[in-house]
């Protein structure tokens, strides 16, 4: 399975199971389906997203799939995929309970953006880098994604992250409060993420309202500005 989830007491643990966990239509469908199933279980109060891969949490867009579809000139499929990514980001930003990224390995590009959508981030200090390689692969970020990154990165690190493509380890991210904690190893980040998730026993209604208010500017940008970017994607002109 690309993605599976299980329940541990009051916590839903989503496990990304597809190696580098690159984002393509099956990935977005699977993770959106998982969130829909989790939301139906009213005894769940928090979500942890982890990975079964030893090296990667999520390494972003499935560029092989994208280039294959572009070669077929199926541009509508590419555009629909980017709209589905925005639907996934919005789902996490507005999900009525805390979502915790338990980053056991590399989080790059769209994977790092997925982590920024989450309410909390813990990361493995023993392995993995967190970075945005768009500047190195000649891909810009739509306004909505830039707002998502601002949610996690202080502005004094934002420009460095986006304009240089710098790779950050967990210790540096912890120093700048981009993650909550740099954990000793992969097992520690998993266990500490789950333990933290189990501290939440609050009503969903209050999380829904708070997250709606905290992230309303991001949602507005996604809804009002990103369609122009998607419909005129630079990657389709290369």
- Indicate whether 90 belongs to any domain: yes
- Residue 197: what pLDDT? 98
pLDDT digits 0-9 by tens, 179-212: 999 999 999 999 999 999 999 999 999 999 999 9
- Residue 5: what pLDDT? 98
- Indicate whether 126 belongs to any domain: yes
Packing angle, helices 110-117 and 75-94, rounded to 10: 30
Residue found by looking up tokens 């380890």 in the block: 169
- Indicate whether 228 belongs to any domain: no
pLDDT digits 0-9 by tens, 80-90: 999 999 999 99
Which positions of the chain have pLDDT values less than 70? 234-238
- Indicate whether 50 belongs to any domain: yes
- Indicate whether 192 belongs to any domain: yes
The neighbouring-strand residues paired with 102 are 122
- Indicate whether 185 belongs to any domain: yes
Find the domain containing 191 and state its range: 3-197
- Residue 16: what pLDDT? 98
Count how many domains the chain has: 1
CATH code of the domain in which 23 resides: 3.90.226.10
- Residue 140: what pLDDT? 86
CA gap 51, 3 in Å, rounded? 9
Please give the model's pTM, rounded to 2 decimal places: 0.95
* DSSP secondary structure string for all residues of 176-201: TTSSSEEESSHHHHHHHHHHHHTT--
- Indicate whether 232 belongs to any domain: no
- Indicate whether 7 belongs to any domain: yes
């Amino acid at each position: 399975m690309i993605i599976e989830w299980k329940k541990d007491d009051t916590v839903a643990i989503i496990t990304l199971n597809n190696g580098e966990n690159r984002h393509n239509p099956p990935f977005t469908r699977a993770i959106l389906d998982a969130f829909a199933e989790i939301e139906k279980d009213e005894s769940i109060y928090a979500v942890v997203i982890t990975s079964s891969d030893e090296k990667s949490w999520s390494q972003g867009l499935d560029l092989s799939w994208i280039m294959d579809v572009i070669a077929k000139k199926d541009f509508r499929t590419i555009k629909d995929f980017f709209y589905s990514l925005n639907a996934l980001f919005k789902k996490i930003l507005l999900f009525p309970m805390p979502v915790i990224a338990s980053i056991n390995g590399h989080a790059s590009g769209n994977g790092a953006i997925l982590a920024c959508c989450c309410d909390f981030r813990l990361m493995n200090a023993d392995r993995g880098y967190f970075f945005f390689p768009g500047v190195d692969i000649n891909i810009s970020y739509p306004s909505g994604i830039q707002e998502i990154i601002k949610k996690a990165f202080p502005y004094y690190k934002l420009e460095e992250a986006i304009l240089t493509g710098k790779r950050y380890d967990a210790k540096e991210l912890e120093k700048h409060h981009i993650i909550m904690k740099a954990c000793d190893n992969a097992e520690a980040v998993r266990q500490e993420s789950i333990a933290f998730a189990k501290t939440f026993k609050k009503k969903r209604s209050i999380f829904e309202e708070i997250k709606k208010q905290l992230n309303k500017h991001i949602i507005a940008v996604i809804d009002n500005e990103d369609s122009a970017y998607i419909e005129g994607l630079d990657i389709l002109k290369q």
